[in-house]
Structure 1
């Protein structure tokens, strides 16, 4: 019997001592048998690394820890990938959890179709008691099911996402992220050679910008089962950066520059009016003529 491909569970960390033990437990409890765990740490100054080191003796899965000077979120993700030996990359963030069968089920989907390079799943939302509020409730109502407005067909519990989504009117409507946080995604490592790594100049949208880029060449498969738990809490990087991040303002510029010809006509016209210098001049002239 042929050995199953190696999957690298990549865990970027920074001061994650509060939840990292739960995260590590979910990693070592995977039913998929051929794994390694790659930890890329942005110079944590709490007990994150000592907690992770304690798992080296608790599992047969190789646990490799790399500590380095921080250079940003994207750089830490990419450093994880650089150090990974696996044929496949499975991100797991320091506060998230995987169901025991997560990687097993994802790999079965990926290995059946060469046109699929990314597989993702639905996710549970776990809210810390200190983070429960009406605002959080509204967030879950908006972002709890990221694919709800895509009208995807499901066959045997699997939906396919391809570049046709760029033509949907829902593409530039919230939620802009049609995939999910990195913890819900598993992808083939050789995809990096074709489309490049995560953009290190972005902070908030670098995960779904990467997935959108991948759709230009390949399909993504969505498992309509909650195989990952995404945790909401006060110490999340997104919450710490709230008010500082301007990535969302860049998103339609990226779409305009990279996906314009795949969009529907209404969206094309909207972006032309907003970003085309010639179109802005024409609109100005038209307004003056009809004053």
Structure 2
């Protein structure tokens, strides 16, 4: 039976929060504030500026917290490459990747680090996330995990991925893992335009178990100009279905025909929901811009 209690012991393990940043001036300060406000006592923060041309560099120049280390790419690299650079620059035993527009609850790092401390066979920890819009307003609370709360064997989690038609583990901000396991399984890969994290989660699960924290510990921004928002719905659906088919074809995961059929049907519904969320965020952002312009007239 899955363990449903979040480990309560305090962790002191050095944990790296890695923030890949590109053209991030709009939300970067909020993200940094949420990371630096963590209760975890042994924290390093690695920010990689991907050769931004907006105000990102100026924000980073203002930082004085000794826990923060800034790395600047001399040229702009791909999003996935920047993710990998950020993690490879880390020095902690545990790693958490936080995109430069997402945020953490104050106890996020402590809770997830304590879970990894307590369960050495667990290779990936994730938590529920709130979905927020461009301006930080709530869109959907406490998303993710579903039937993978608590300690779970890897094959059960992968079957749930296939059946869900989406990514029940969550985006990078929801997860934490060991740096040594990241090195072992080969880092993020550009397998699709928006499923690179799910590809990494599955490869981490090849090494051991999963733990789903039954608590909301982060917020994921449904940004109207994000990679997902700019990827066509047809392409997203094709990528999700293709990824699930590859998992189902691997006998390691014991995926049944029923899992595959159910997931294929559910993927259409989840794509409609995903497209609707990003469209709603864009509409909200447009309305705010119109109100702002009207107020200036």
TM-score normalised by L of structure 2: 0.75
**SS of aligned partner of 1:128:** coil
Q: Which runs of 5+ in 1 are unaligned?
A: 272-291
Supply the distance in 1 between the matched residues of 2:157 and 2:216 (Cα, whole angstroms).
25
Specify the alignment match of 2:73 in structure 1.
Answer: 67
**Distance in 2 (alpha carbons) for counterparts of 1:188 and 1:163:** 16
- State whether residues 50 and 82 of structure 2, in contact with CA within 8 Å, keep that contact through their aligned partners in structure 1: yes
Q: Deviation at 1:71?
A: 3.2
Alpha-carbon spacing, 1:75–1:259, altered in 2? closer, same or farther (3 Å)? farther
Q: Aligned partners of 2:32 and 2:260: how far apart in 1?
A: 45
Partner of 1:164: 155
CA distance in 2: counterparts of 1:47 and 1:220, whole angstroms: 38
- Corresponding residue for residue 190 of structure 2: 200
Which protein has the larger Cα radius of gyration, Structure 1 or Structure 2?
Answer: 1
Matching of residue 92 in structure 1 with residue 83 in structure 2: no
SS in 2 for 1:226: strand
Question: Structure 1 residues 130, 11: closer, same or farther in 2, change over 3 A?
Answer: closer
2:169 to 174, 179, 190: 179
Residue 210 of structure 2 aligns to a residue in which SS?
A: strand
Task: Find 2:181's aligned residue among 165, 186, 191.
Answer: 191
User: CA, structure 1 residues 213+7, in 2 after alignment: closer, same or farther (shift >3 Å)?
Assistant: same
Q: Distance in 1 between the 2:47 and 2:161 partners?
A: 34
Question: Which of the numbers 28, 51, 54 marks the counterpart of 2:36?
Answer: 28
1:213 to 199, 203, 207: 203
The match for 2:247 among 250, 255, 275 is: 255
Q: Give, in angstroms, the shift of residue 76 of structure 1.
A: 1.1
Residue in structure 2 matched with residue 147 of structure 1 by the alignment: 145
Alignment of 1:66-145 (within 5 A): 66-128=72-134, 140=140, 145=143
Alignment partner, residue 39 of structure 1: 47
Over aligned residue pairs, what C-alpha RMSD do you find?
2.8
- 1:227 maps to what in 2? 217
Contact 1:131 / 1:234 at 8 angstroms: preserved in 2?
no
Instruction: Check conservation: 2:158, 2:253, Cα contact below 8 A.
Output: no
User: How far is the alpha carbon of 1:219 from its aligned partner?
Assistant: 1.0
The answer on whether the counterparts of 2:244 and 2:260 sit within 8 Å (CA) in structure 1 is no
Aligned residues: 251
Shift of 1:44: 1.0
Closer, same or farther in 2 for the Cα pair 1:268/1:128, shift >3 Å? closer
Once structures 1 and 2 are overlaid, which stretch shifts more, 232-241 or 86-95?
232-241
1:189 and 1:175 map into 2 onto residues whose CA distance is 28
How has the CA–CA distance of structure 1 residues 14 and 262 changed in structure 2, closer, same or farther, with 3 Å as cutoff?
Answer: same
